[in-house]
Structure 1
Amino acid sequence: MSRRTLLARAAVITGASIAASLPASHYLASPAYAAGRRPSPVSVKEAVRRAQDRTRRVRTGKTSRNGWEMERVADNGGSIFTRPVAGTPLNGIAVRMGTVETLLVHVARRFHYEVDELREGDVVGWRAPGTVRKGLAESNQASGTAIQVRPGHCPSGMRGGFFTQQERVVRDILAELEGVVRWGGDDRTPDESLFYISVGPDDKRLAKVADKIWTWNHTPGRGSGVMIDPMQPVRRSRAERLAAVQA
């Protein structure tokens, strides 16, 4: 066996070993793989290098208060992207894609329709890790798992930013999401503008509740935008039970 062949095989083995330790999405995104060709040693090493560059650029290795990994950037190769909020003037909010997106966008839409109309700039999603206080729930924004609705209107540390009827709608939204989203107004250090995922990434309730909301969004007469009476006895009772648990 020639020296060139030995070196080529060694490069493939080394590159494959490194690639195996990376998220599958990084390796599958390589041009050689996408084209259905056997990757050459050069393409494998290049794919590994690009994946490592993305990891260094995006991942922090640190979690926000709710157990999700914080990311350094949004809209740049990670899990956090600016997502649309249909039916509102918002150009979009930067949140973690998937189940988190479904849940937090639902919060924003119901807030717009039933609490108070939102304008562009009223909702803040992802924030860089260096701009949030790590010991508070606001750190969840750095992992793309929280939004702030009009943070200037409801400054951190203060209560009473909502009228009674508005807070009833907020409670109804939380009950509809079955406790996987928490309102910052219930925290010891309140932030009434904050809504965040209250469970970790492995909690099975996330997919269950997100599937429910997704189905509603694709069913006429259901989902955000359909006016709901939060004073209905069943809805109010459910909301009050959850408030007692989360408070």
Structure 2
Amino acid sequence: MNSEFSRRTLLRRFTGVAAGAALVAAGEGLLAPLAAQAADAPSNTSKSANGWDVLDAHSPETAIHAIPGTNLRVTLRRGDAATVLAYVAQRFHYDVMPLEASRGQVLGYAADLQVKSDFESNHLSGTALALYPDNYPLGSKGNLYPNQVTAIRDIVAELQGVVKWGGDMQPVKESTFFLDVPPDSTKLALVARTLKEWGVTPGKGAGTQNVEDPKRMAAAKKLADKQAA
């Protein structure tokens, strides 16, 4: 697929505003202030919205992970969570739009995130990923081309629904992906194991998919309908 910037990014370029301005450092710091109205999620809970333990800033459960295919890194929860979310970022880079080597394009674990909607709390447990968060903020919808949405839905379907896209949440956040299974999920472990096998198997994994294959599109639509229910 031809990796092209979204309508929002193109408009910003046209008006002379740098697409990456005001973003935070990759895997570190805070998201830019969110203007969209949403109910504040509790900040003192020990669990994020998806049921994972919230981690403190010095937790050994977090680590910096490379995003394959790029020179970017992101802080995520160790183990299967990191394996799956790093793969999401890699496929986003290949099939949705490039993650370029500049600051603030990737946010994973964030200890002091200003949570505006409950699913954003998943960043506090290291089980969420935001890609171009300033370009696609909370409550802003319709910023992606149809082919980009098709690719995103294919990524989620390929991962068998262990990840959910923020574009299907209310309020929406098209930059966000998060684990949608509990810590003891057998499916998460199986998906992560498959991704590791693909990583050492030629012709498998990110960069090999035809996201417009009718069977893949049908599977992606079926999952999208299920997750929206």
TM-score for both structures, normalised by structure 2: 0.77
Structure-2 residue corresponding to 1:140: 122
- Which structure has greater helix proportion? 1
Structure-2 residue corresponding to 1:242: 223
Give runs of aligned pairs for residues 60-209 of structure 1, distance below 5 A: 62-73=46-57, 76-90=58-72, 92-119=73-100, 120=102, 121-128=104-111, 130-133=112-115, 135-209=117-191
Among 192, 196, 202, the alignment partner of 1:214 is: 196
SS at match of 2:46: strand
SS at match of 1:140: helix
Amino acid aligned to 2:61: S
Runs (4+) of structure 1 moved beyond 6 Å? Answer: none
SS at match of 1:205: helix
The one of the two structures with greater contact order (alpha-carbon pairs below 8 A, sep at least 6) is: 2
5+ unaligned residues in a row in structure 2: which ranges?
1-43
Residue by residue over 1:92-142, the C-alpha shift from the partner in whole angstroms, topping out at 9 and shown as x without a partner, is 1000111001100000000001111102331111111x4232752110001
Deviation of the 1:61 alpha carbon: 7.2
Residue by residue over 1:134-189, the C-alpha shift from the partner in whole angstroms, topping out at 9 and shown as x without a partner, is 75211000100001000011010111121000000000000000000000110111
The alpha-carbon distance between structure 1 residues 61 and 164, as it changes in their structure 2 partners (threshold 3 A), is closer
* Alpha-carbon separation, structure 1, partners of 2:198 and 2:93: 17
Amino acid aligned to 2:107: V
TM-score for both structures, normalised by structure 1: 0.71
Residue by residue over 1:181-218, the C-alpha shift from the partner in whole angstroms, topping out at 9 and shown as x without a partner, is 00011011111100000011011111011111111111
Contact persistence 1:184–1:193 (CA under 8 A): yes
SS at match of 1:154: coil
Q: Percent identical across equivalent pairs?
A: 39
* Alpha-carbon separation, structure 2, partners of 1:96 and 1:149: 17
* Alpha-carbon separation, structure 1, partners of 2:99 and 2:116: 28
Size of the aligned set, in residue pairs, is 183
SS at match of 2:177: strand
SS at match of 2:196: helix
5+ unaligned residues in a row in structure 1: which ranges?
1-59
* Alpha-carbon separation, structure 2, partners of 1:204 and 1:112: 27
* Alpha-carbon separation, structure 2, partners of 1:221 and 1:185: 30
Larger radius of gyration: 1
* Alpha-carbon separation, structure 1, partners of 2:96 and 2:194: 22
Contact persistence 2:64–2:76 (CA under 8 A): yes
Amino acid aligned to 1:105: A
